[in-house]
């Protein structure tokens, strides 16, 4: 089986790797690029643990072939803390919105994608947006409060920078 040459931008950095034709983006991130923050929970796109963004669109990386990332911009959990912790990451810590942490990377990536589209989401919008991310350890209320608090801080920071 011939391998496919993939060139992409991952977390702002140009990358190249060879992928098997049936290899998922999740496996390529973890096995070729050593980006192990993205987790495999279900392998069927139901849990959201493998959430990443591709060209700004939230996707389950377990459902996307690595070859489909060719020429694309991929953002993972590792890309969130390039200049220190992202406000979402800080607020998850402050609100104790995580326990085991397995689902947390996918939830954070999904929440960031939401706030990039809608910097002032309602509680209902946050719950709807994160419905594809399952967590068995903690209640969702702390997660929702952390996202709301981060959104408020990010809006304030944006106003202060303007």
Q: What is the DSSP string of 71-86?
A: T-EEE-GGGGGBTB--
Q: Which residues are within 8 A (CB) of 113 and not within 5 positions of it... i.e. 6 or more apart?
A: 53, 56, 57, 58, 129
Average pLDDT of the chain, as a whole number = 95
Q: Which residues are within 8 A (CB) of 148 and not within 5 positions of it... i.e. 6 or more apart?
A: 123, 126
What is the model's pLDDT at position 97? 94
Q: What is the extent of the structural domain holding 124? A: 85-161
What is the model's pLDDT at position 32? 97
CATH number at residue 126: 1.10.150.120
What is the model's pLDDT at position 162? 61
pTM: 0.94
Summarize pLDDT for 35-84 with one digit per residue, the tens: 999 999 999 999 999 999 999 999 999 999 999 999 999 999 999 988 89
CATH number at residue 20: 3.10.20.30
What is the model's pLDDT at position 137? 86
What is the model's pLDDT at position 3? 96
Same domain, 154 and 138: yes
What is the model's pLDDT at position 17? 98
């Amino acid at each position: 089986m011939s391998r496919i040459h993939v060139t992409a931008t991952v977390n702002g950095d140009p990358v190249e790797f060879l992928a098997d034709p049936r290899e998922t983006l999740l496996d390529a991130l973890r096995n070729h690029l050593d980006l192990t923050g993205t987790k495999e929970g279900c392998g069927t796109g139901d849990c959201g643990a493998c959430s990443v963004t591709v060209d700004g669109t939230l996707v389950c990386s377990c459902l996307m072939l690595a070859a489909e990332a060719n020429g694309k911009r991929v953002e993972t959990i590792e890309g969130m803390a390039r200049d220190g912790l992202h406000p979402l990451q800080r607020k998850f810590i402050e609100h104790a919105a995580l326990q085991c942490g397995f689902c947390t990377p996918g939830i954070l990536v999904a929440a960031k994608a939401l706030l990039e589209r809608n910097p002032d989401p309602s509680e209902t919008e946050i719950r709807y947006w994160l419905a594809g991310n399952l967590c068995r350890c903690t209640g969702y209320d702390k997660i929702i409060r952390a996202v709301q608090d981060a959104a408020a801080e990010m809006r304030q920071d944006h106003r202060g920078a303007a």
